[in-house]
Amino acid sequence: MFSLAKLVKPALGLLAGFTMMAAATTLAAADETRVVFVTHGQSGDPYWSVVKNGMDDAAKTLGVKAEYLAPETFDMAKMAQMIDAITASKPDGMVISIPDAAALSTPVKNAVAAGIPVIIIDSGGSKLTHDLGGLLFMGQDEFQAGVMAGERIKALGLTKAVCANHEVGNSSLDDRCAGFAKGLGVDVPVMNGVIDPTEMKNRVIAYMTAHADTQFILAVGASGAEPTLAALDELGLSGKVKTGTFDLSPTILQAVVAGKMEWGIDAQQYAMGYIPVAMFDLWKKYKIMPIADYPTGPGFVTKDTAASVIELSKLGKR
Amino acid sequence: MVSEIRDERVRSVSRLSRLLSRPELGAAAGTVLVFVFFAITAGSSGLFSAKGIVNFLEVSAQLGILAAPVALLMIAGEFDLSVGSMIGFAGILIAIPAVFWGWPIWLSLLLTFAVCGGIGALNGLAVVRTGLPSFIVTLGSLFMLRGLTLGLTRGISGRTQVSGVHELALHDPLNSLFSGQVFSGLIAGLADIGLIGKRADGLPSISGIPVSIVWWIVLTLACTWLLTRSRFGNWIFAAGGEANAARNLGVPVARTKITLFVMTALAAALFAAIQVLVTGSADTLRGTQKEFEAIIAVVIGGTLLTGGYGSAVGAMFGALIFGVVQMGIFYTGIDTDWFKLFMGAMMVIAVLFNSYVRNRAMRSR
């Protein structure tokens, strides 16, 4: 005979099982720390790629859930919307870069007001971070790093320099050039470059032809440095006209080892990805947070130290 | 004998006015104008030295390699916005198998040309099958290819730049085809008799002509022959002029367009091969905005944005103007903050002059 009870019982059991499983997964999800990065740097950019690697490595090592978000173009309105959206999803910590204080202050304040701990990395600086209620600032003061680069060149007795900027209008690259001029103590013209390596190389050649008295070329990133090295090679000026760069790449490090480049300035941005993940994990578990800002750069990689970091650069850690 | 009787409906046109009505005439005139401008403002600065000429020709050549097939595609009435992303994608396809999997360069080049040609065919198929504007279809491929490039590269290498191709390509049979120099002996000879300047270390200021310039000229000539001397060329004009009428006359419009999408994709792969082997590295951001630069060069060269009219030689002049203007400002000593303003203005003036000359020529016919 057909019995309803016979059918209902296993069905109930199944249902109970599902509910328990669901409860277990929510519990696990609630335990796992979730950190979200919202930055202005596309992960296609070699510099930000290293930040993301740091984040991924920390997440894997510590068993933390970490997400990386950035608008595809330098779009502050979009970045503000992203911060708002992530705030609404209540992560355990947010890591944000602030290249434009006017556009991003309000969403960052809103995130803080919603009770989400916030760490600012790369751009924004210490004062802004604390004004907005951020816990701490991690990064390299680009202007100050430029000043230190300028002072080193001044110490070599060089005065005629140019700043080869492959992305004029990007404020942190502009700061690097401006700081460099301050440190050197003389006017430094900015050469407008491009991402395209052939055009960049040929522009450096053209600039050097028209300004043959230039003694030092500062590149403000790997995309400018590699073509600059090629240009000096082609002009037969390799090693005669000195050059140095911000950021590292295997090619840059090899040039430093070979004496074709004075130094590469390492912002150690891997730490900007790795450490906030670890900090938020500690914060969530034990309410532990460092009390001071964390400057990651500038670290000058010179002939003595370059060889030891080439492999790390190939792996995207430096 | 009918053929001996002159048909009164056919007007005889003199050689001169035929020349004047060629689409590239205006572009040639624009080129002359730009050269005159730089001869006056930067004549003695080294722009027109051997080094300076190779300097702007190399930039022109790379763009021109893209522009020639893009011109054909635009004459057929379609756009390909994916060529820029295709350059980045192709570069990674060359570098990753070589650097990470130990493939010989020639094999990764073959793979790259095959894959890119295939994607070009997919672009073409999508356009002719869906009937969507190619502008939209290839805008989709623009983003998809860029994303695919980034995902693959970061997934495999953890970075966005792959370097170390130089050492691997050193003894590859195909290396000199893309990154080599030609006429090195001739250049050395000319330097010996003082026609070409020398560097501080006594070597000639240039060691040869980059092979990309040869590619540029050969491709332009091939595209010109295809367009003006082959049946396929008639199909291109017909497809871009009035596709339905062409179809009714038996022109295989779909096949023509798909072939042209394959050609633009292969040109992007060639661009990437040259850039990767010359610089020794690939980067996910390579080729950014090249799709627009190629279209600009083609339009400066007198090809109509609406299709049905244009030439490959015009695109060559367009690329030449682009290269000269790009590099010229550095020799003039103008503050380079004004670079883009200057470049935009020069472009507009060149195109205006171009259409003025063309209109004059057309009227005199």
Give the side-chain half-sphere CA count within 13 A for B86: 34
Distances (CA, A) of B282 to A257, B139, B170, B211: 22, 23, 16, 19
Determine whether A25 is exposed, middle or buried from the number of CB atoms within 10 Å of its CB (0-12, 13-18, 19+).
exposed
User: What per-residue confidence (pLDDT) applies to A1?
Assistant: 44
Asked if A203's CB is within 8 angstroms of B288's CB, the reply is no
pLDDT band at residue A41 using 50, 70 and 90 as cut-offs: confident
Residue B281 near chain A (CB below 8 Å): yes
For residue B241, give how far its alpha carbon lies from the nearest alpha carbon of chain A (Å).
35
The reply to whether residue A46 touches residue B160, judged by beta carbons under 8 angstroms, is yes
pLDDT per position as a tens digit, B112-168: 999 999 999 999 999 999 999 999 999 999 999 999 999 999 888 888 888 888 888
CA distance B87 to chain A (A): 11
pTM of the model: 0.79
- Helix, strand, coil percent values for chain B (each to nearest 5): 70, 5, 25
Residue B290: its chain A contacts at CB < 8 A? 196
Higher per-residue pLDDT: A244 or A311: A244
End-to-end CA distance of chain A: 74
Any idea which residue has 């055009």 for tokens? Answer: A199
Average pLDDT, chain A: 88
Q: Which residue has the tokens 């610089």?
A: B279
Selected for mutation to probe chain A from B143, B157, B161, B167 (highest A CB count within 10 Å) is B161
A 223-282 near B (Cβ less than 8 A): 223, 226-227, 230, 235-237, 240, 249-251
Residue B335 to residue A189, Cβ atoms within 8 A: yes
Pick the range with the lowest mean pLDDT from A70-74, B93-97, B283-287, B297-301: A70-74
Predicted confidence at residue A3, as pLDDT, reads: 52
Residue with tokens 């073409």: B124
Interval B76-87: pLDDT, tens: 999 999 999 999
A297-308 pLDDT, tens digit each = 899 999 999 989
pLDDT tens for A204-262 read 999 998 899 999 999 999 889 999 999 999 999 998 999 999 999 888 999 999 999 99
Task: Name which of A257, A232, A248, A233 is nearest A307 in CA terms.
Answer: A257
| Percent of chain A whose predicted confidence (pLDDT) is above 70 | 90
B167 to chain A, minimum CA–CA distance in Å?
12
Find the CB nearest B159 among A46, A199, A240. A46
* Rounded average pLDDT over A121-129: 89
Q: Which helix (H) or strand (E) covers residue B205, if one does?
A: none
Q: What is the pLDDT of residue B13?
A: 67
Round to whole Å and give the CA distance between B288 and B196: 35
Q: Is the pLDDT of residue B50 over 50?
A: yes
Residue A5 has pLDDT above 80, yes or no: no
Q: Which residue of A has its CA nearest to B143?
A: A72
Q: What is the pLDDT of residue B21?
A: 67
Show which of residues 73-132 on chain B sit within 8 Å of chain A, judged by CB atoms.
none
Residues with Cβ < 8 Å from B170, sequence gap 6 or more?
none
ipTM of the prediction: 0.78
Could you read off the pLDDT of B313-337 as tens digits, one per residue? 999 999 999 899 888 888 887 777 7
pLDDT class of A55 with cuts at 50, 70, 90 = very high
Mutate which of B144, B149, B215, B283 to test chain A, going by most A C-beta atoms within 10 A?
Answer: B283
Å between B361 CA and nearest CA of chain A: 35
Averaged pLDDT for residues A160-188: 91
**Binary contact (A45, B160; C-beta < 8 A):** yes
Pairing of strands B181-182, A190-192: unpaired
Q: Nearest Cα to B64, choosing from B296, B308, B253?
A: B296
Which residues 295-334 in chain B show a CB within 8 A of chain A?
Answer: 326-327, 330-333
Task: Please tell me which of the candidates B150, B275, B331 has its beta carbon nearest to residue A206.
Answer: B331
What was the pLDDT predicted at B161? 84
Q: Please tell me which of the candidates B45, B199, B339 has its beta carbon nearest to residue A235.
A: B199
What is the per-residue DSSP string for B30-74?
HHHHHHHHHHHHHTTTTTTSHHHHHHHHHHHHHHHHHHHHHHHHH
**Which chain B residues are closer than 8 Å to A192 by Cβ?**
336-337, 339
Which tokens hold the place of A240? 């005669």
pLDDT tens-digit series, residues A129-168: 999 999 999 999 899 999 999 999 999 999 999 999 998 8
pLDDT for residue A15? 54
Interface check B203 vs A, CB under 8 A: yes
Q: Which residue in chain A is spatially nearest to B197 when comparing CA positions? A: A235
